[in-house]
Amino acid sequence: MTSIEAKRDAALERVKAKRDFATHVIAYVVVNALLVVIWAATGRGYFWPLWPIAGWGVGLVLNAWTVYFSRPITEGDIQREMERDI
């Protein structure tokens, strides 16, 4: 595989990850809005939607970290790890 092909493949992977994250955000907002509507329609007692909102929110933040802030694994990372293992 040439360097250009490797760069293209890495870029394609990042674009897919960003699109998947956008889909994740949309699902989070829609589902949790529906839970709040259900809560409001059933008497507005204890705000139980907090738990799925918070739990899923943790997953969403971790997904965002992976997509936008984690750096890709480089050949240098692999070499350093191989040297440590010996």
Domain that holds residue 16: 3-85
> Where do runs of H (alpha helix) occur along the chain?
3-41, 50-64, 75-85
- Long-range Cβ contact pairs of 47-54 (< 8 A, separation 24 or more): none
| Full-model pTM | 0.83
- Counting the structural domains of the chain, the total is 1
pLDDT digits (tens, 9 = 90+) for 29-62: 999 999 999 999 999 999 999 999 999 999 999 9
Q: Name the least confident of 17-26, 62-71, 75-84.
A: 75-84
- Long-range Cβ contact pairs of 30-38 (< 8 A, separation 24 or more): 31/56, 32/56
pLDDT tops 90 at residue 15? yes
